[in-house]
Amino acid sequence: MIQIDVRTLLVSIVLIALTVLIIFTIILVKNAITTVKNINKITEDASIVTAVTADKAENVGNVVSDVAGIVSNFTGTRQGNDGLIPTLTNIGKAIGSVSNYFKNRSASNEDEY
């Protein structure tokens, strides 16, 4: 007849459960490390995209401000408050800003390919 000591049986069960828990913890940590590495890559890509977007927004903001200046000067010229030369100067600035924006845009598109 086989005799089993209850205390030895309980200690054996706890040791087996502890071993399984340690194995699951190791697998969990391994997967967490992989996930953190992927999140770091995504964060780096997001920072690049954010920088490019901020640059584009700044370029568009410059163009919009130049165009707003043209409109206000043109309106002032029509009302007789401003001269023709400042209005033409602002039109030239706006055209320069728009052309620089499209040059920078085409240059950045070429860099992406």
In-domain check, residue 39: no
Convert the pLDDT of each residue in 39-64 to its tens digit.
999 998 888 888 888 877 777 777 77
Neighbour count for residue 66 (Cβ, 10 Å): 20
Within a domain: 105:
yes
Query: Which pLDDT belongs to residue 45?
Result: 86
Residue 5: inside a domain, yes or no? Answer: no
**Residues of the chain under the 50 pLDDT cut:** 113
**Residue among 49, 48, 52 at smallest CA distance from 104:** 52
User: What pLDDT is attached to residue 107?
Assistant: 67
Domain assignment present for 109 = yes
Write down the pLDDT at residue 108. 65
Report the pLDDT value the prediction gives residue 113, as an integer from 0 to 100: 46
pTM value is 0.45
Task: Show Cβ contacts of residue 90 under 8 Å, excluding neighbours closer than 6 positions.
Answer: 66, 69, 70, 73
Report the pLDDT value the prediction gives residue 93, as an integer from 0 to 100: 78
Q: Give residue 70's domain range.
A: 56-113
Domain count for the chain: 1
